[in-house]
Amino acid sequence: MKKRMLIMLAAVGLLFGGIFGFQIFKMQMIKKSMASQKAPPVTVSTLTASIQPWQPELKAVGTLRAVRGVDVTAEIAGLVRTINFKSGGAAKVGQVLVQLNADSDIAQLHASEAAAELARTVYERDKKQFAVKAVSQAVLDADAADLKSKRAIAAEQAALVAKKTIRAPFTGRLGITTVNPGQYLNPGDKVVTLQSLDSLYADFYLPQQQLANLSLGQKIVVTTDSYPGRSFAGKITSINPKVDPDTRNVQVEATIANPGHVLLPGMFASVQVEAGKIQKYLTVPQTAVAFNPYGETVFVVQQGEKGADGKAGLIAKQVFVTTGGTRGDQVAILKGIKEGDVVVTAGQLKLKNGSTVLINNQVVPRNEQNPQPKDE
């Protein structure tokens, strides 16, 4: 009985051992088969790295402000009699915008002028009397003082009457007004905004580290999303002598031309400052660079080893690079590759060092210095 059990156990052991051995053999054969098969090539797009002129730039965001802009207000209280402009229209310097009711003030002015004229007549008469010793010097001095006082009162009243006429302080474009005839204005009430649009200020901030790269007269280029594809040239006209202690930024003011008055005060703008002389850098599209915590890398396409058929395929080699500044779609490469290297610009996610590649440049990433939005 025991002998029979031993024989059965031995048979079962041989059976399982054979099955296990067959599985190991099968797995080894699969591994050899997979190792003998080459991975299919990865389709990528490429670009030849080239040296291009590079204008160093400082970028910032800013706000446009009128060189001369003001909210026209009433200096003194009064009732609006007439409005002599249309909302959105143009105004010339000195043009009457609003006339306030000044009837009582004009009447008071006439009374003051009459009193001043009487004081002048008295002074002239007493001056003749003084010549013949008919009046004293004290009387003549009192007459002169009274004349000056009356003339001052008349001048004050004339200034008050003039303030009832609200004029444009400079030439510009008027805004929208909500003032109507018959409305009572208090001192400081806004009548309409007036903005001179021939040229504008662009106010922006840059880090204090860039102070050495800033100077008066430096050229800038302003763009705004209101006019895609259009740029406006200008130059730096003022640099704030104080750095903001909270942000460590310095305020810069630039003056830009505004042909056609298309730009308006208060608009958001992107500012590019030309900083330094034009240099030459090796450039590639930013899509070609993989930014990693351990460094930036690119894939360079090279000739691989010849196969059994005597032909050599293309392989991708991963190399570390040192990047510089960026502009548009491009990034400057300071170290790692040389001019003429074929760099992978798309398809890197499927690559590893030594992967076989197939180049297809029918669709390639953009590589423009100043890309502009396009409706496609």
Long-range contacts of 286-293 (CB under 8 A, 24+ apart): 286/326, 286/329, 286/330, 286/331, 287/329, 287/345, 287/346, 287/365, 288/47, 288/343, 288/344, 288/345, 288/348, 289/321, 289/323, 289/331, 290/348
Who has greater pLDDT, 112 or 54?
112
Q: Pick the residue with more confidence: 6 or 320?
A: 320
Q: Is the pLDDT of residue 126 over 90?
A: no
Enumerate residues 6+ apart whose C-beta is below 8 A from 351: 42, 44, 299, 316, 318, 344, 357
Q: Residue 82 corresponds to which amino acid?
A: T
The answer to whether residue 64 scores a pLDDT higher than 80 is: yes
Q: Given pLDDT bands bounded at 50, 70 and 90, which one contains residue 97? A: very high
Q: Which residues pair with 141 in a beta bridge?
A: none
Q: Over 60: is that where the pLDDT of 136 sits?
A: yes
Fill in the amino acid letter for 362.
Answer: Q
Identify which of 188, 239, 235 has the alpha carbon closest to the alpha carbon of residue 73: 188
Question: In the prediction, which pLDDT does 34 show?
Answer: 47
Is the pLDDT at 307 greater than 60? The verdict is no
Centre a 10 Å sphere on the Cβ of residue 298 and count the other Cβ atoms it contains: 25
Give the chain's end-to-end CA distance (angstroms, integer): 88
Q: Give the model's pLDDT for residue 290.
A: 87
Name the CATH code of domain 42-55+279-359 (choices 3.60.10.10, 2.40.420.20, 3.90.650.10, 1.20.1440.230). Answer: 2.40.420.20
> Between 32 and 125, where is the model more confident?
125
Task: Give the model's pLDDT for residue 205.
Answer: 94
DSSP annotation of 157 reads H
Q: 58-67+201-274: which CATH topology? A: Elongation Factor Tu (Ef-tu); domain 3 (2.40.30)
d(CA 353, CA 99): 81
Express each pLDDT in 255-287 by its tens digit. Answer: 999 988 999 999 999 998 887 777 888 888 888
Q: Is the pLDDT of residue 317 over 60?
A: yes
Chain region(s) in the chain for CATH 2.40.30.170:
58-67+201-274
For residues 372 and 283, give the distance between their C-alpha atoms in angstroms, rounded to a whole number.
19
Three-state DSSP class for residue 181: coil
pLDDT grade for 4, boundaries at 50, 70 and 90: low
Mean pLDDT of 65-75: 93
Which residues of the chain form CATH 2.40.420.20?
42-55+279-359
Average pLDDT value for the chain: 85
In tens, the pLDDT along 202-222 reads 999 999 988 888 889 999 999
- The whole-angstrom separation of Cα 94 and Cα 198 is 18
Q: Say what the pLDDT of residue 172 is.
A: 92
**Residue partners of 354: CB distance under 8 A and separation at least 6:** 315, 316, 317
What mean pLDDT do residues 87-99 have?
Answer: 93
Distance CA 368, CA 330 (A): 7
The per-residue pLDDT for range 18-30, each reduced to its tens digit, is: 565 556 655 665 5
Determine the residue type at 179. Answer: V
CA-to-CA separations, 246 to 63, 97, 108, 200, 207, in angstroms, rounded: 20, 43, 56, 27, 12
Angstrom distance (rounded) from CA 153 to CA 160: 11
- Asked which of 68-72, 92-96, 120-124, 354-358 is least confident by mean pLDDT, the reply is 354-358
Helices 137-163 and 103-131 meet at what angle, rounded to 10?
Answer: 160
Residue pair 44/148 in contact by the 8 Å Cβ criterion: no
Sorting pLDDT into bands at 50, 70 and 90, what band is 37?
very low
CATH architecture of 102-163: Orthogonal Bundle (1.10)
Q: Which pLDDT does position 19 carry in this prediction?
A: 61
Listed in order, the ranges of the chain carrying CATH 1.10.287 are 102-163
